[in-house]
Every structure is written in structure tokens, then in C-alpha cells.
Amino acid sequence: MPPVYLDHAATAPLRPVARAAMMAALDAGPANPHANQHAPGLAAARRLKADRAHLAQAVGCVPAEVILTGGATEANNLAIKGLALAGRDRGRHRVLIGATEHACVRESAAWLTTLGFAVEPLPVTADGVLDLTALAAALDDRAAVVAAMAVNNETGVRHPIEAIAAITRRAGAALHCDAAQAPGRIPIPWSPSGPTTLSLSAHKVGGPVGIGALILRRDPPTALSTQMHGGGQERGLRAGTVPVALAAGFAAALEEAVAETGHRAAHARLLEQRLLAGLDRAGIPFVHNGAGAPRTPGIISLTLDQPAEMVMDACPDLALSSGAACQTVDDGPSRTLLAMGLCAEAADRTVRISLGPDTTAADIDHAVGALVRALGDRTCGTAGHPDMTGMHQAPPAQHRQQDRLEASASAGAADPGAGVPSIGGPAAP
């Protein structure tokens, strides 16, 4: 039996509607949508135009604002570099990015330092929300672009994009929003008073890997420096043949994800509560990172009293992670958790559990049982972690879990099984 899949923030299973749309496009035969001198090329162009319109409708923008890319990473690169370079022409050479942004945003900004830009991190609160006072204080007439994500990919914490946009706009800077984790979880934060640019990823919403989009505001017109040169596709901003089949799958998946947003959020909230209640009732010590902030349910960051890698090794029947997929490549402690005040050792004891629309109550009960067995068996790792100084203060509702975590860390070696009973039945709803 395959593991219970609890890593939807890394990638979502391909939706049947996306598969069907892709197969229909592939079965239509070979054609380049930019080859407008014959019938197959014109048919492919019409299909691409229709899918672009579907994407725009799902986002709430106009089709001409949809720039198709190879994924959210490329879209973020295009936005951060393109907005910054366009801003430099107006004498602006500062780039401000939230301390918990995705690696591709951080690295895009870091590359700009080679061109003389000043890149400055914006602090977050202990719950991971961008500090608006610090943002307002940092902005001046030299700031070119601010980057703030809609939903954090490790904690589910939501940034107040409308408020950030208002502050940024008053300073004359552009705002880029990485919204890869938003569709299906919260309304996509695109509105007349929202960000300047916004990035999306198909595979995060159950579409195919290999395509995404940058939403580029046209009213007022947005200056953006091209990063990929060639045949002038995508309004001259992203050269390369657009993959029609991938665009079809992306459009179908995004439309379905957006349509189910309210139901999915309620579903994820119930399952998240079931998971946390099951662990709490079993006496498992944990801290739910970001629990005191506005957040989207279903992306859950839990700091445990055992190293995350050892817990995951002890749970081969669960597909979960120790954080962002890109972080496992970087092989260091989560920068998101460090920015929230955790020490590196506490970050290394943190797992991410992310749910999807097909996650069931039975999956959650299975996960609770597996985690209880893993955390109850102290042979899977070090028994005690007395240095808890890097742990930020838990919200009031979590004081019990925080106290239990500290008690377990200090007493685990003396009594390996203390406070970790097995579950006698499925977790209560």
C-alpha cells in the first residue's frame, strides 16, 4: 500500500480534469500555437487563447495580464529581476523581501546584488507575519520592489497582501506576490488594490509540472525588464514556444481549485483540528508554529521533541516533509523558522504536514497513530533536548503543548515512555 500522502504543499496529485484536458490537447495532433500559416497552428492558437481566458477568469484578471512561464520559480525570477531592473531606470536600486520568502525569491534578489542592488530582508513576527511597521519604515524613494508571499509554504501563515500593497504603493515601489500556495486554499489575492505582479504554479493545484504564470498588471501599465529573449512570445516578456497541452491542464486544474476554495478550507480546518487533537490527547509534545497568526488550514508546521529526519524514517507509511522541498536541496535549517525565532536545533525537530482536497479523516487517524508510535519509541532518536532557548513563545492556546514539549525534552532520558501512551482508537473529530 502506498504511503498516506501528506505533502501537498510540495506538489499536488494530478487532477482528472487536468489529465483529460491535456490528453485532448495532445490528441489534437502536433502544432505550434505560434505557427499561424496553417490550420493546425491556428487551431492550437485558438486552444491556447481559450485556456488563457480560463486562467484569467480563475485569477480575476484579464487574459492579456497572464504571462505563461515554466513554473512559479521562473515567474518569481521574472518578476523580481524584471521589476528591479525597470525600477533602476527610475533611480531605484533597493529590493525588500520578506524574511520567510521562498528560496527562488531570495536567490533572485541575491543575484541582483551582483548588479549593484541593495537587497534587504523584512522581519516577521514570532508567528511569521510580515511586520508592517518595519515595512513602512524601510520604504523610501529608492525602493524598487517589495516581495511578500500570499501563503507561506511551510507554516500556512498568510500575509496581509492588500495592506502591504497599500504601503508599498504610497512609496512608489512595486509589489510582487508569490501566490503559489494560495489557489484552492484562499481567494487569489488579485484586485485593483492588490500587488503589481503575482506568480502561480500549475503543479501546486493539481496541474502538470512544467508550467506556471506571472500575472502582470496592465492598469496602470507595469514596466518589466525581459529576462528570457528569443521569439517575442508572451508579449515579448518570455520567449519560447508555449506548451499547449500543459496550458490546458493548468487552466483546468486552476479553475477547479478556485471553485472548491470555500469547501476545501472548511475540510482542511476540520482535518487539521482532528490531527492536533489526536496528538494532544495522546500526550505528544509539540508546538504548532504560526498558530497565533492568520493562516490557511492544511499546511501545518509542528516542532516535536525528536529530530524530524528520524521521525520520518520511523514513519515510512507517511509522506510528509521537514519543510519546503527546496530546503531539502539546500540541506540547512529552515530559514522561515529561523526568521520566526526558532533556533537551528528546534528547526531540525520540525515537520510539515500539508493536506489536500482528497485527504480523508482515515488518513489523519493513520498519521496520528504512526506519529504516536514513532515518538513513543525513543530508540528512534535522542531522548532529550534540554536546550529550548531558541523556541519562540507559543500562543496562549498552546501553552499546554509548549510545557509538555519542554518537560519531555528534559525528562525523556529518564523515562523514555513517559507521557506518550498509544492511541486506543481513531482520533475524535
* 80 grid coordinates: 523580481
Helix H or strand E segment including 344: helix 344-347
The set of catalytic residues is 326
Q: Look up cell 535549517; give the residue.
A: 333
Per residue, the 3-state secondary structure of 112-151, as one string, reads HHHHCCEEEEECECCCCCECHHHHHHHCCCCEEEEECCCE
- In angstroms and rounded to an integer, the radius of gyration of the C-alpha atoms of the chain is 23
Residue 192's contacts (CB-CB under 8 Å, 6 or more residues apart) are 219
* 209 grid coordinates: 509540472
Helix H or strand E segment including 199: strand 197-201
* 101 grid coordinates: 520568502
Q: Residue 102: what are its φ and ψ, rounded to 5°?
A: -60, 155
Distance, CA of 385 to CA of 408 (rounded, Å): 8
Distance, CA of 150 to CA of 153 (rounded, Å): 9
Distances in whole angstroms, Cα of residue 155 to Cα of each of 128, 289, 305, 343: 8, 7, 18, 16
Count of other CB atoms within 10 angstroms of residue 219:
8
